[in-house]
Amino acid sequence: MTTSAFVRPARVRPLPEDAAPVVSLKGVTKRFGKVVANDGISLDIYPGRIKALLGENGAGKSTMMSMLAGRYQPDEGTIEVDGVPVKFSSSKDAIAAGIGMVYQHFMLVDSMTVAENVLLGQEGAFFINPKEMESRVNELARSYGLDVDASDYICDLSMGERQLVEILKLLYRESRILIFDEPTAVLTPEETNRLFEALWRMTEQGKSIIFISHKLEEVIALADEIAILRRGRIEGELDPSAIESKADLASRMVGKEVLLEVNRQPMDLGSLVLEVRNLTGLGLTDVDFSVRRGEIVAVVGVAGNGQKELVEAVTGLVKPPLDTVFIMGQPWRKFFAESTWNRSMCYIPEDRLGLATLRNQNLVDNLLLTTRKGFARGMWLDKKRAERHTVKLIEKFNIRPGRIHALAWQLSGGNLQKAVLARELYREPRFIVAEQPTQGLDVSATEEVWSRLLEARKMAGVLLVTGDLNEALQLADRIAVMYRGRILGMLPTSEAETASRIGPLMAGVLD
C-alpha cells in the first residue's frame, strides 16, 4: 500500500470568493549573511484548507516556516494574522497567535502518559488530577477522531500514535494553523492513512494545515493548494486537480524533467560482504541474513523496531555478541582491527549533520574525516591534494554551493548528503551501509542518490536501511521487514505480491 491509494473525502473544495486568509506573509525576506534564504515571499493561508509547500532542498521552506512558527524574525516584510501585522519574538508568541508546528523529531517525555505530555507546561495543569487530565484529553481526541488513549504511556506507543500526541498538544493549545514538516517519514502506510484522515477532519472544523513533504503522491492526494518554492521565492501556486502526474509535479518543482524512477538492472552476485548469524542481544532476536557484492538488501520497518541496533552492530558503533557478525569473510572484531581506509566498508549515517560530518568544519576537512590516510605522507597531511580532490568531487556530485570552504551546516540537507556520499564512494568501498540516505531530500537529489547506490553495486554490496517503501522497492533485490527486533520476512522484489505484504509485516501481522 502506498499513499497514492488515498482517496480524498467527497466534499466541496472551491475557496469561497469572500474568504479571508487567517495568515498572510507579505514581502517576507530573510538573510543569513550574504545568503538570501527567503526573497520577498508572499503567501496566504486560508481556514479549512490544506496548503502543501514544495521545493528542492535549500529552497527556503524551513526558513519560511521557522519565521511563521516564531523561531526566526523577518528582515523585511510582514506577517499578518487575521489581517493584523504581528511580530513573533519566540515560538511562544506564535503559539499564542494560534500557530503550532509538528516537527520531524517528536518532543515527548517517554516516561509520562499521553495526558501528562499534552498538558505539560500548561498554566494550572499542576493542580489538575490525573483522571481529569485524561478525561480532558480523551474528549479532545474524540472530537477530532484521533485514536489515542490519554492514559497510555508514550514509551508504549507506535510512532504514528506519538505523532497524534504531538497534534493533540497543539489542539489543546487551540492552535488554528498547524504546520507539519515531513510528517510521514517514520509512519507505516496504515498510520499515514490515519494521519491523512485526521488532517481532513481538522480542516472540516476550520483548522488550516501547512504540509511540507517530498513525497509527491502524498501532496497530490492530500492538498487543496500547492505552493512551489524555488531558490527562496514562490514560483507559483497550483490546484492539485490540474496536475497530470507525479512526474508533472516534480518537473514544475525543480524546473526540469525528473524521472522519479530508476532502471535497476540485475547484477551478477559476488562474494559475501556481510553475514549476520542468529544475532540475539542489543534488542535483536535471531536476526539472520547476508549481503553479497552486486546486490542491495533493504531493511524496512517502523522506526524503533531494531533497525538502529542492527546498524550499530554492523558498523562498529557497538560490539555484537561473538560469532554473530562477519564482514567480508572476517569476524567482526578481526575486521575492525585490520580494516583499511579504502576498499573496505563505508557507512552513510542517518544523522548527516551530527555523526556523518562536523558541522563547523569545511568540505575539505569533512572529506578528510574518513579518507585522511589516503592523503598522508608519513607524518604529514597533504592538505593541498585533499583540496584538489574536494573540488573534483563537488563538480562530479553537483554539490552546492560549489565552494570547498563552505561549512557543513551551511549546506542544505540534500547537498550535505551528496557531500557525504561523495566522500564515502571516493573510498571505493566493497560494502556500504546506507541509513535513510534520502530522508528529507527533494526528488532531484533522491534520484541522484538512487543512481549512485545502484552504480556502486558494481564494486560493493549494499545494506540499505530505509523508511521509504518506494525506495526499498525501487532499489533493493530483497527486502527484510523488521518488527520488534526480529526479521519477520525476507521478500524478493521480483515477486509481484511483495509490495502488498510489507505493510502487514511492519505492523507485526504474519502471513
The CATH number linked to 284 is 3.40.50.300
Please report, as a single letter, which amino acid is at residue 178: L
The answer to whether the Cα torsion of 113, 117, 120, 123 is positive or negative is negative
Q: Range with the lowest mean pLDDT among 67-76, 177-186, 281-290, 447-456? A: 177-186
What global pTM score does this model have? Answer: 0.71
Looking at per-residue confidence, does 256 or 142 come out higher?
142
Phi, psi dihedrals of residue 226, rounded to the nearest 5°:
-130, 120
SS3 of residue 190 by DSSP: helix
pLDDT tens digit sequence for 45-59: 999 999 999 988 778
What's the per-residue H, E or C state across 207-250?
Answer: CEEEEECCCHHHHHHHCCEEEEEECCEEEEEECHHHCCCHHHHH
Query: What mean pLDDT do residues 175-191 have?
Result: 83
DSSP of 493-504, one letter per residue? Answer: TTSTTHHHHHHH
Lowest mean pLDDT among 82-91, 256-265, 438-447, 467-476: 256-265
Q: How confident is the model at residue 1 (pLDDT cuts 50, 70, 90)?
A: very low
Query: What is the Cα–Cα distance from 444 to 429, expressed in whole angstroms?
Result: 25
- Most confident of the following: 31-35, 60-64, 398-402, 428-432: 428-432
For 106-134, b/e burial (b = at least 16 CB within 10 A) is bebeeeebbbbbbbeeeeeeeeeeeeebb
Residue 2 confidence (pLDDT): 40
Amino acid at 423: R
pLDDT at 9: 54
Which among 242, 209, 239, 224 has a CA at the least distance from the CA of 11?
224
- The rounded distance, in Å, linking the Cα atoms of 204 and 305 is 35
| 176 assigned to some structural domain | no
Instruction: Give the lowest-confidence range in 217-221, 307-311, 350-354.
Output: 350-354
What the block records as the C-alpha cell of 433 is 551501509
Burial 67-86 (b: 16+ CB within 10 A, else e): bbbbebebeebebebeeeeb
In the chain, pLDDT over 90 holds for what percent of residues? Answer: 59
Confidence of residue 42 (pLDDT cuts 50, 70, 90): very high
Q: Which domain holds residue 418?
A: 272-506
**And the C-alpha cell for 191?**
498510520
| Averaged pLDDT, 215-220 | 87
d(CA 235, CA 343): 45
Give CA–CA dist 195/95, Å, rounded.
22
Please indicate, yes or no, if residue 304 is contained in any of the structural domains.
Answer: yes
Mean pLDDT within 371-397 = 94
Q: Do the domain assignments include residue 179?
A: no
pLDDT at 288 exceeding the cut of 80: yes
254 Cα distance to chain centroid: 19
pLDDT tier, 329 (very low <50, low <70, confident <90, very high otherwise): very high
Q: What percent of the chain has pLDDT over 70?
A: 95
**Of 145, 157, 239, nearest to 196 (Cα)?**
145
Is residue 153 assigned to a domain? Answer: no
Q: Residue 499: how many CA atoms within 13 Å on its side-chain side?
A: 12
- Residue 227: CB partners within 8 Å, gap ≥ 6? 43, 51, 52, 53, 54, 234, 236, 237, 238
Return d(Cα 76, Cα 103) in angstroms, integer.
Answer: 26
Structural domain contains residue 419: yes
C-alpha 198/C-alpha 147 separation (Å) is 9
Single out the residue of 485, 122, 487 nearest to residue 309, CA to CA: 485
pLDDT tens readout for residues 108-131: 998 999 999 999 877 666 567 888
**Phi and psi at residue 26, to the nearest 5°:** -125, 105
| Rounded-to-integer distance, Cα 203 and Cα 199, Å | 6
Predicted confidence at residue 225, as pLDDT, reads: 93
Instruction: Report how many domains make up the chain.
Output: 1
22 within domain boundaries: no
Range of weakest confidence among 403-407, 436-440, 480-484: 436-440
In whole angstroms, give the CA distance from residue 200 to residue 144: 10
**Gap between the Cα atoms of 344 and 334, Å rounded:** 13
Calculate mean pLDDT across residues 139-164: 88
What would the mean pLDDT of 374-386 be, rounded to a whole number? 93
Residue whose C-alpha is closest to residue 64's, from 76, 56, 72: 72
Q: Does residue 67 fall inside a structural domain?
A: no
Instruction: Indicate whether 403 pLDDT > 70.
Output: yes
Is 403 a member of any domain?
yes
